[in-house]
A = this chain, B = another copy of it.
Amino acid sequence: MRDAAFCTSACSMTRAMGVLGSKWKLIIIVHLTQQRRFGQLAQRIPLISRKVLTEQLKELEEDGIVRREAFAELPPRVEYSLTPHGQALLPILEQLSAWHCATPAVTAAESAPG
């Protein structure tokens, strides 16, 4: 989802979420470090459908995060890669993954004392 109202907010985190705030985009960006072909991405990203992958890649391309290269072949071969702007996200996403791996184990009982 690209949220126009978010994108024009005075709050920079809100603007960032306006562009990246789909549940799939950060996942796709991370996977682009390992696969480039559309079909490979569709196979390797857990739980995603081709329809959503296509849509999200299109938005990422429009936002200058991803680059699309179509080769003049049949059957069609298209490869996606990160632009420098997209590459700049990678260290941040690695920290986010690491943050989540450091999540303390909590039981349901103690995580919601309220």
Contacts and interface: CB of A to CB of B under 8 A. Distances in A.
A16 interface: yes
Interface in A34-59: 45-47, 58
Given A64-B106, A114-B61, A97 B47 contact: no
Given A11-B46, A46-B9, A70-B114, A64 B99 contact: no
Number of copies: 2
A16 B95 CA distance: 11
Given A3-B23, A61-B114, A64-B104, A92 B85 contact: no
A103 B31 CA distance: 21
Interface of A: 1, 3, 5-6, 9-17, 19-21, 23-24, 26-27, 30-31, 45-47, 58, 61-64, 68, 70, 85, 88-89, 91-93, 95-97, 99-104, 106, 108, 111-112, 114
